[in-house]
Amino acid sequence: MSRIWIAALLPLVLWLVVSRISAGMSGWRTLARRFAATAPIRGERLRFGSGAMGRLPLPIRYSRCLSIVVGPAGLGLSLMLLFRFGAKPLFIPWPEIESVEEVRYLFVRVLALRVRGEWPTLFFRGRPEKLIRQAWAAAGRAGAGPAESARRIEAGPD
């Protein structure tokens, strides 16, 4: 009987361990120490979004499991419940984002967000990228500080 319980629980335990390790390797837990979301975030919400977090050349990819909120105050990220173990929802205010720029990742251009004083970089493309560019530029015009990077992005790569 005990072997049946072990066989039944082992996949669940492995899933939780892998989720926790991924959150640590990507830098999610590092960001959560400073930027854990404490309230619902206002803004445009994208469900089942994709992105990556960590360091190039091998960031941890989150494919179709992110909830991304792009609002006037900042960027919100959370994982689907199935993947959330060890990864609290995040809210990163625009003034805490040091730079937003295009980079090349595996033959494609992606939008890279670097958070002030933290090591993980966040990578987006597609619809999240467009919304982030717009909000970043708007925050720059509002005096939050990112106007120079927004101009670099709008001008495109050299």
Q: What is the CATH number of the domain that holds 80?
A: 2.30.29.30
> Which structural domain, as residue segments, surrounds residue 151?
2-155
- H helices of the chain, in order, are 2-26, 28-35, 127-141, 147-155
Would you say 135 and 72 are in contact if contact means Cβ atoms under 8 Å apart?
yes
Bridge partner list, 129 = none
Provide the whole-model pTM.
0.82
Q: What is the pLDDT along the chain (158 residues), one digit of tens a residue?
A: 588 888 889 988 998 899 999 999 999 999 999 999 999 999 999 999 999 999 988 899 999 999 999 999 999 999 998 888 889 999 999 999 999 999 998 889 999 999 999 999 999 999 999 999 999 999 883 333 444 444 444 434 43
